[in-house]
Amino acid sequence: MLLWDPCFELFPLTATPSETHREAGPAPDGTFLAPPAYLNAGNEIVVQELLQESLSLWRQNGVCLAPFARTFTAAEQAARETYLDRFLQTVETELRDLPSTRSERRCAHDRITSAFTNFAKACLGLDDSHLELLLNHGFSAIAAELAREARHIDPAVSAADIFQASRNAWTACALQTLMGQRMRLTPAIFAYSMLYPYTDNYLDDPAISRDAKLEFSDRFRRRLEGYAAAPFNDREATIWHLIGLIEEQYRRTDWPEVYASLLTIHRAQENSVRMLRFGSSPANVDVLKLSFEKGGASVVADACLVAGSLSPDEARVAFGWGVLLQLVDDLQDIQQDLRDGNLTVFTESAACLRSGPPPGMPLDDLTTRALNFGYGVMRQVDRMPSDHSAIKDAAPKHKSLKEMIRMSSSLLLIWSAGESAKLYTGNYLADLETHSPFRFATLAQRRGKLSRWTGPLARMFESFLKDKDEEDGAASLLLASFFMPRL
């Protein structure tokens, strides 16, 4: 049984005056006691309402694919695959002879960046405005700074963990642009992004017992609430330090919404740990609701860490985009989730397909709903104002960013479906494939090749990180991997 309703509100709407106005201060045992105002902020952004809106949007979407912006003939796909192979060949050449000096690293970085630029323009239809956001002091610079700071606090943090953290930082920094701020890696964005490899992966690890996860989760929750609990081990000490970075930027008494949002995503994660396993009774688990809650709450927290507090429209966009990202991640990870026994919107149906009678339904309709849900979210994003006078050339940046968000979310869903072809009908996959710049068979062949690059790519990443001012090369690799199918 859950300790709270999974449809809880981000900010409860009822509180006694004494609870709302009590000041923060030390508890009798000397630890810091979080003021109840953290959970009872006046700005009443209610997760329940956002969740119901997203569920309604999901159910309203039919199972007929909305019109795609682009279709590709087989000849057009083959032409783009030529550019794909040129890019992969460039990376492979660099991997054979890793740079050892600063000048060699600079030349390698320039070659990879040039190849990525050609690939992005020819295959993905990106133009200079998109690449400006990606490469020139944009997302690439964010990943570079995050890598530097991550290695500063933990020299042992892996390239994979840095990439995972970078993906969240890119989401938060995209929200900065959408909300009229200059794109930059703030202490709060860095800290929240790094919490993912330190906490989310631990809670998702099937090798760790449920009891151990819940004990850690309880300690983590108390630290988020403001209690100065002693860390249990080195990993927790790093997590406590990351929370401290957020506290330095956002005082708890001044920015209650920030800490309420962090507790919200934490509780959503706890609900997932408790409920989203195949051993749970389907009658007791609303997989769709729990998945939407977790994804939406995550990006609401991103938005709060960007702005401190949110308007209703900003919260709505953040929650919807978070749900969409959760759907993309779940479809990308479906094969691993099936092996690990994790319940998601997609594995719930796919598990029926694999286990025999009663037969499950192919994932055609679910994937169509996910794609259509993405269109609905993008309509909300498009309504965000783009005339922020404080940001130079804000409107063009908004337009380019929105185009990249739209393209990446749909392509990642399409490519993920192609990767799990056995879970779809042939006709559906054939239709989806016409909206991919590459044929699914080509992507499957290239994935086999890419899977052998894990070690060399990690070594190249480490090579770029040797010099403090050369980390943009490593960031270019991270950025390329985000746009490449399973690179």
Where are the chain's structural domains? 26-483
Residue 14 has pLDDT above 50, yes or no: no
pTM: 0.84
User: Judging by beta carbons within 10 Å of its beta carbon (0-12, 13-18, 19+), is residue 15 exposed, middle or buried?
Assistant: middle
- 360 or 466: which carries more pLDDT confidence? 466
**Distance, CA of 181 to CA of 398 (rounded, Å):** 11
User: If you average pLDDT over each of 34-38, 357-361, 391-395, 410-414, which comes out highest?
Assistant: 410-414
Tell me the average pLDDT of the chain.
Answer: 80
Indicate the range of 84-98, 250-264, 447-461 predicted with least confidence.
447-461
Question: Are 438 and 81 contacting, i.e. CB atoms less than 8 angstroms apart?
Answer: yes
pLDDT confidence band for 353 (50 / 70 / 90): low
The H helix count followed by the E strand count for the chain is 22, 2
Q: Place 13 in a pLDDT band, splitting at 50, 70 and 90.
A: very low
Lowest mean pLDDT among 91-105, 235-249, 321-335: 91-105
Whether the predicted pLDDT of 441 surpasses 60: yes
Q: Note the pLDDT of residue 4.
A: 28
Q: Check the CA dihedral 315-321-326-329 and report its sign.
A: negative
Domain 26-483: assigned CATH number: 1.10.600.10
Of 62 and 368, the structure prediction assigns the larger pLDDT to: 368
Q: Which of 3-17, 244-258, 356-370 has the lowest mean pLDDT?
A: 3-17
Task: Supply the pLDDT for residue 396.
Answer: 65
pLDDT for residue 44: 40
Residue for token pair 């691993």? 336
pLDDT of 31: 39
Residue of 107 and 468 predicted with greater confidence: 107
Residue type at 275 in one-letter notation: M
Q: What is the pLDDT of residue 202?
A: 79
Is pLDDT at 135 greater than 90 in this prediction? Answer: no
